[in-house]
Structure 1
Amino acid sequence: MDNLEKWKLKVVAALKRLNKVAFSQRYLLYTNLGISIGLAMVGDQMEQGYECWSGHIDKWDRTRTIRMGISGFTVGIVCHYWYQYLDQFYPKRTLRAVVHKILLDQFICSPFYITVFFITMGVLEDKTWEEMKEEIREKAIILYTAEWTVWPAAQFVNFFLIPPRYRVVYDNIISLGYDVYMSNVKYRKTPNSSDTTTASK
């Protein structure tokens, strides 16, 4: 066995150990939060990159990306415990159980998730409660409508095929494109905004 083969075996063994520890019951919450924060920030950077390229903004706003990362922390907590709750009450992978999970996810968790996102961002932006409610009224329905085009099919795969410890990881991988869209909707200027420039695509 040459050195390259030995190196490959060492890398595979190290990745297996990392996977075993990171997705263990002891560290799963921290792993899920880290992934949620990281991909929320990546999604915002991708959106800002497009906005810079298209001329809607002049340069990358670091504070905006950090705020999106913090929102990834709060909604990551929601997802982590929500999936555990669903798996506790619907442990089987039957079609009936999966459909129940999807419906509960869309009608309960999705609105809550979107509300937590806007409240988190509103607190970070030092908005009043009235300003937060206005933004939720204007933008939450846009995100919720978009969720119906993506998540029922994605969650069917998640609940039917993905092992429970990987549910939030799968969610975040699928959600990367949605995170880009969330950033776009969140920072899209509305007609009521004093700033007339738009961040919409």
Structure 2
Amino acid sequence: MKLVRQLLSKAYKTYKTTVNVAFQRKYLLYTNVFLSVGISSLGDTIQQSYELSIKDINTFDYERTAHMAFSGFTAGIICHNWYNFLDKIIVGKTIDMVLKKLILDQCICSPIIILSFFATVAIFEEKPLESFDEEVRDKFWTLYKAEWVVWPPAQIINFYFLPTKYRVLYDNTISLGYDIYTSQVKHRKQKKE
């Protein structure tokens, strides 16, 4: 029993040290990108597992998951820089400040994230420009409307309670469900064909 306690204690200390280092200013971008890549991959994996279970697809598409991971890479970079920028231009945690951040986030960052998602996954398609144009025309508003349902309540908590360094982490915990939905919306056309 003593050995188990020692192992658990050592594991906890290692975990705590790793988390402290990961959220230091000099490593924060890497941490945020890593989190975003992981959550985007997991979201697509969950969506594909569901599609396999209901026989919408026959085999798991690892390439699709890699493309979704790459979209998480770009989203992680954008969100990391966006939250830092937002906290520099709007300082404070009053309700007024939180609402200003929320409106800017929904009106500026959300469309950028959606467009970057379509752009990054289009890179891997046969005709990237045509694919990007078609996806934006067909699916942008679907995702943007969903953004207005999911993110305002989540971002009020994010902007009011959390320090900047934990914003992308929190964002990614909420984003898992949204990433599952994004994967479903993105690949819906392929299933119909």
Q: TM-score range by the shorter chain?
A: over 0.9
1:165 alignment partner in structure 2: 165
Task: Tell me if 1:99 matches 2:99.
Answer: yes
1:139 alignment partner in structure 2: 139
Point out where structure 1 has 5 or more consecutive residues left out of the alignment: 190-194
1:7 alignment partner in structure 2: 7
1:33 alignment partner in structure 2: 33
SS at match of 2:12: helix
Alpha-carbon RMSD: 1.5
Point out where structure 2 has 5 or more consecutive residues left out of the alignment: none
Q: State the Cα distance separating 1:75 from its structure 2 match.
A: 1.2
SS at match of 2:118: helix
2:113 alignment partner in structure 1: 113
Runs of 4 or more off by more than 6 Å in structure 1?
none
Q: Which residue type is aligned with residue 192 of structure 2?
A: T
Counterparts of 2:75 and 2:24 in 1: how far apart (Å)?
21
Task: Tell me if 1:180 matches 2:180.
Answer: yes
Q: Which residue type is aligned with residue 44 of structure 1?
A: D
Instruction: Give the paired residue count.
Output: 193
Task: Give the number of the structure whose residues are more often helix, by fraction.
Answer: 2
TM-score between both structures, scaled by the size of structure 2: 0.95
1:85 alignment partner in structure 2: 85
1:192 alignment partner in structure 2: none
Q: State the Cα distance separating 1:133 from its structure 2 match.
A: 1.1
Of the structure 1 ranges 160-169 and 2-11, higher mean CA displacement relative to structure 2 is found in 2-11
Q: State the Cα distance separating 1:40 from its structure 2 match.
A: 0.4
Q: State the Cα distance separating 1:42 from its structure 2 match.
A: 0.6
2:192 alignment partner in structure 1: 198
Q: State the Cα distance separating 1:129 from its structure 2 match.
A: 1.7
Counterparts of 1:107 and 1:137 in 2: how far apart (Å)?
18
Identity percentage of aligned residues: 46
1:43 alignment partner in structure 2: 43
Counterparts of 1:128 and 1:50 in 2: how far apart (Å)?
27
